[in-house]
Amino acid sequence: MNAKEIKSVVSSLEKTDDDATILRLLTALKNDVQPTEKLLRETKVGIAVNKFRSNSNTEISSLVKQVIRSWKEAVKKKPSGAGSPEKQETDSNLISSERKYISKGPRNPKNDGVNIDIYDNATRNGSVSGLYTALAMDSDLFPVNILSIAKEIELEAFKLEYFDVNDRYRNKLRSLIMNLRNKKNPELRLNILKNEIKPHELVKMKPEEMAPESLKKEIEKIHKQNLFDAQGAVEKRAISSSFTCGKCKQKKVSYYQLQTRSADEPLTTFCTCENCGNRWKMS
């Protein structure tokens, strides 16, 4: 495969969730790519393949490890300056997943030695920096992997706003970074780093969809309790002749009572005329 063909396969990999298709594409890369430092650096195929290393499908994750290992060995056999920037970048792209990154302090672009001066726009660069810091906070992935994902997320948000840094873009990035930085929400960060939530999916998620599982369960519990209380209130309705409808003057009135104010205040009575449907309340 040449660089153009590899990039086409990488694009297909990023767009599919079908295991059979992923296996077919990975196999094609394994069999048809003759890896060189220049080719791997130009196509970023190592980063793309590496994202599937933790895939829940063991056949996929196993194949990824084989591909990474074979490319690493092939590149090592080729003459290259051991300390060259090209060699360092290639090794980082290919084998960072096989080692754990050990940080000497809180993880952020500055401490990790990451250059986030990517665009001519300070707001976009700041967004990439914020996303990187949030994603890296409790991760042992290498900087090159985290930076790649942070850049993808920012780009998807930028595309979502028709390539404009407007207020909606700023609000979207603030919301994303705030949710990603939530210490009680490691599941969200992990799912993104494992490519289980893709960047184009993340930027379209609502805040409640990004919430921690514990909060989602609490919200669901409250919702169910409210439904139960509402049903209970309806079930306690009774029909009485003690009330007179102010509209049709009939005495066939159903009613139920709820505590709508403080506990020491009287109950509020909600009345419905069974004859004309008129409703009123009193306390």
**pLDDT per residue as tens digits for the range 173-218:** 999 999 999 988 888 999 999 888 999 999 999 888 887 766 556 5
CATH architecture, range 3-98: Up-down Bundle (1.20)
- Per cent of the chain over pLDDT 90 is 30
DSSP 268: E
pLDDT of residue 82: 45
Class of domain 236-282: mainly beta
Distances (CA, A) of 14 to 48, 121, 152, 157, 266: 8, 26, 11, 17, 62
Which sequence spans correspond to the domains of the chain? 3-98, 109-214, 236-282
Assigned token pair, 150 = 């942070």
How many other CB atoms sit within 10 Å of the CB of residue 172? 19
C-alpha–C-alpha distance, residues 17 and 25, integer Å: 12
In this predicted model, which residue has the larger pLDDT, 1 or 243?
Answer: 243
Distance CA 271, CA 237 (A): 9
Q: Which residues pair with 271 in a beta bridge?
A: 255, 280
Instruction: Report yes or no: 267 and 257 within 8 Å, Cβ to Cβ.
Output: yes
In this structure, is the dihedral angle defined by the CA atoms of residues 194, 198, 202 and 205, taken in order, positive or negative?
negative
* Identity of residue 70: S
- For 84, 159, 192, 205, the CA distances from 152, given in Å and listed in that order, are 27, 10, 11, 15
Q: How far apart are CA 238 and CA 253, in angstroms?
A: 8
Q: Over the stretch 36-85, which tens digit does the pLDDT of each residue have?
A: 878 888 888 888 888 888 888 889 889 988 888 888 888 777 654 444 54
DSSP string, 111-134: HHT-----SS-HHHHHHHHHHHHH
Which of 7-16, 115-124, 246-255 has the weakest average pLDDT? 7-16
